[in-house]
Amino acid sequence: MLEFAWPWYFLALPLPWLVRRLLPPASGLDTGALRVPDLEDFRHLAGGAGESIHAQAFPLVALLGWGLLVLAASNPQWLGEPIGVTDAGRDLMLAVDLSESMEVEDFLLEGEPVDRLVATKAVAKAFIERREGDRLGLLVFGEQAYLNAPLTHDRATVARLLDETAIGLAGRSTAIGDALGLAVKRLREQDAAHKVVILMTDGANTAGQVTPLRAARLAANAGLKVYTIGIGADEMMVRQLFGNIRVNPSTDLDEKTLKGIAAATGGRYFRARDLKALEEIYAELDRLEPVARGEQQLRPIHALYPWPLALAALCGGVLLWRQCRGTA
């Protein structure tokens, strides 16, 4: 569809006619006359009928050039077909613990015991699939923190990279503070209105250069909201030489620090003691940080003004050539 961005410029079309009608002729013109008995000797100087036609065409060229200039000034545009674009969602970074303690098999998946990382993958991948419209990133941490996937709308790639992670890949210890600090570094320069970190761990900060609470203050200053998830059952049966005994596999979980991180950034702390609780936590995160569902209708715009402007310049060149030829 053709549209003019500034159609009021068309009001300038009659301006040359108004100038000619309302303003007096320019002064200083040579009005002298030469009296001769016969014009026959001057016919070859006038150039004949062809020259007369050319002389009449130049005012039309001038008017055409003026009309093209006005057309270019009105900024003609061609509007393409509407394109639906989903509103920008959140920048959401998943921080997953790969330390040695994630090997503990205190979760049940389809009736079979699995370790904490397998349970985390099963629930987190479903969560990733639901986050259409968000940019997601993945970082993993153990003794050190690593960015596994930068922020992207490619949810399938993030889910695949999460599935390929393995315990011990980032070291055997737990650097919670460094992981949160890396998330802050990656998110604070982004323009998204909502920047969220979901940090999952089953232990305490035992490595790294930055303390978790200091990293939490940095996150709060950068406008990040951090949700922390403590993973691990409260009790499990362990087979011993003289029979099974009941133990608490989550004695190393530092819930106080995880609660402090969440409180400092306006987030929440969750406790995942089994797979059902972990699924409920991610469902609650969907409710607390809803996916952007709005859609805008955008139409591509192609500017057309260069075409009439080029033709107007061509008309001006013709008039300039005629002026130069007349004065030569």
DSSP 3-state of 261: helix
- Residue 262: closest CA among 224, 291, 298, 301: 224
Which tokens in the block code for residue 67?
A: 């009309």
Q: Give the domain ranges of the chain.
A: 2-18+50-81+299-327, 86-295
Please give the average per-residue pLDDT across 228-249, as a whole number.
Answer: 74
What is the Cα Rg of the chain in Å?
A: 38
- Which residues, 6 or more positions from 243, have their beta carbon under 8 angstroms from its beta carbon? none
Q: Give the up-direction half-sphere exposure of residue 222: CA atoms within 13 A in the CB hemisphere.
A: 25
Give the pLDDT score at 172.
87
pLDDT of residue 319: 83
- Please give the pLDDT value at position 190: 83
The whole-angstrom separation of Cα 319 and Cα 62 is 7
Each residue's pLDDT tens digit, 56-114: 677 888 889 899 999 999 999 988 877 655 555 689 999 999 999 899 888 888 888 89
Residue 39: is its pLDDT beyond 70?
no
Indicate whether 41 pLDDT > 80.
no
User: Is 138 a residue whose pLDDT tops 90?
Assistant: yes
pLDDT at 240: 62
Give the neighbor-by-neighbor strand order of the sheet with 91-97.
145-152, 135-141, 91-97, 195-201, 224-231, 269-272
What number of other Cβ atoms are within 10 A of residue 155's Cβ? Answer: 19
pLDDT at position 280: 93
Q: What percent of the chain has pLDDT over 90?
A: 50
- Res. 328: pLDDT tops 70: no
Average pLDDT over residues 164-192: 91
Distance of alpha carbon 150 from alpha carbon 51, whole angstroms: 73
Residue for token digits 């969907």? 286
Q: What is the pLDDT of residue 151?
A: 93
CATH superfamily of 86-295: von Willebrand factor, type A domain (3.40.50.410)
226, 227, 235 from 266: Cα distances, Å: 7, 8, 30
305-321 residue pLDDT tens: 999 999 999 988 888 88
